[in-house]
Homo-oligomer: A and B are copies of this chain.
Amino acid sequence: MLPDRIAILGPGLLGGSLLMALRERLPEANLRAWARRQESVDAVLLAGLADLASTDVSEVVKDAELIIICSPVEHMAALASAVTLGQPSKGCVVTDVGSVKAPVVSALEDIFNRSGLQFVGSHPMAGSERAGLEAARADLFAGQACLVTPTLFTADSALKITRAFWQLLGCRVLEMTPEEHDRNVARISHLPHVMAATITLAALQEDFTAARCIGKGFRDTTRVSAGDPDLWTGILLQNRAEVLQTLADTQARLSELLAILENVDEVALRRYLREAKMLRDAVPPAV
């Protein structure tokens, strides 16, 4: 079902983990990797993660049947254009791992459809506050949701291959439109990310002394604020409208909470915490 020649563009945390997982789960596949820097190419080859690795996109995508773009979202369009200048196999399917979908899918569909390639947007809900190939792991995707965002232009065959690819890696595939994706992910990924940063700043920036008292609660609540600031700057700007909306909602809830505490409104405070607990308890457990 899955094609043989697979190219991963950008062997960072996600791309590197894809290579590792594919080596395990598709040992016969011909894997290729493109990296911007020669050191990354060398690291991929040294670890035996690809049969071919290069800083030249054309070399890597030549005859490829499946390409996964794993660069930061703001570089995806340029990389997509470079792919179309290479000679991927006819009918080659291209997907990505970007955290924002509407602008990415719109730009990449446009680029690939003009070149006879098939693009389907993907976003595996896997990651870490760590970055780079050093942090990559073969099991990063196992048990995680992968959001796949077909459009009216998506060919059934391309969607099938994309779904099969993520399922092979152990993902639970969920389909939605790029717009639904961006709305959902603003709330359950981008919001927690910026709030983790906000909590860290509010708690420690003026006075770091409280840091020595920190327990598991603070550590977990703010873990993602150690993520790559450049990567997240790109994500937040690409999904700016949805992030602004959910941040405005958050600010309204925070104002409500401040009023409750100012008024010593015990009943309302208990209700606020109860409603949050009820929702949190209803979140499907991790697999």
What is the interface of chain A, defined by CB distance below 8 A to chain B?
A: 125-127, 144-145, 147, 174, 181, 183-185, 187-189, 191-206, 208-230, 232-233, 236-237, 240, 243-244, 246-255, 257-258, 261-262, 264, 266, 269-270, 272-277, 279-284, 286
Known contacts A188-B217, A198-B250, A225-B277; 15 additional CB pairs below 8 A are A127-B216, A181-B213, A188-B211, A192-B222, A196-B221, A196-B280, A200-B279, A202-B246, A211-B282, A211-B283, A211-B284, A214-B284, A221-B224, A233-B266, A248-B258
Cα distance A232–B112 when bound, in Å?
53
Chain B residues in 8 Å Cβ range of A286:
216, 219
- How far, in whole Å, are A213 and B176 apart by their CA atoms in the complex? 10
Query: What is the distance, in angstroms, from A248's C-beta to the closest C-beta of chain B?
Result: 7
Q: Which residues of B contact A211 (CB under 8 A)?
A: 188, 282-284
9 contacts between A and B (CB under 8 A): A145-B212, A181-B213, A188-B211, A191-B203, A202-B252, A208-B282, A214-B284, A229-B270, A229-B273
How many copies of this chain sit in the oligomeric assembly? 2
Whether B284 lies near A212 (C-beta < 8 A) is yes
Closest B residue, CB atoms, query A126: B215
Closest CB in chain B relative to A10 CB, distance in Å: 20
CA distance A41 to B151 in the complex (A): 61
Complex CA gap A250/B209 in Å reads: 18
Q: Which residues of B contact A274 (CB under 8 A)?
A: 229
Given A211-B188, A276-B200, residue A193 in contact with residue B217 (CB < 8 A): yes
A273 interface neighbour in B145, B197, B202, B283, Cβ under 8 Å: B197
Contact B266 A237 (CB under 8 A): yes
| Chain B, Cβ-Cβ closest to A247 | B258
- Nearest opposing residue in chain B for A249, CB measure: B202
Question: Given that A240-B264, A275-B201 are contacting pairs, would A215 and B253 also be in contact in the complex, using a CB cutoff of 8 Å?
Answer: no
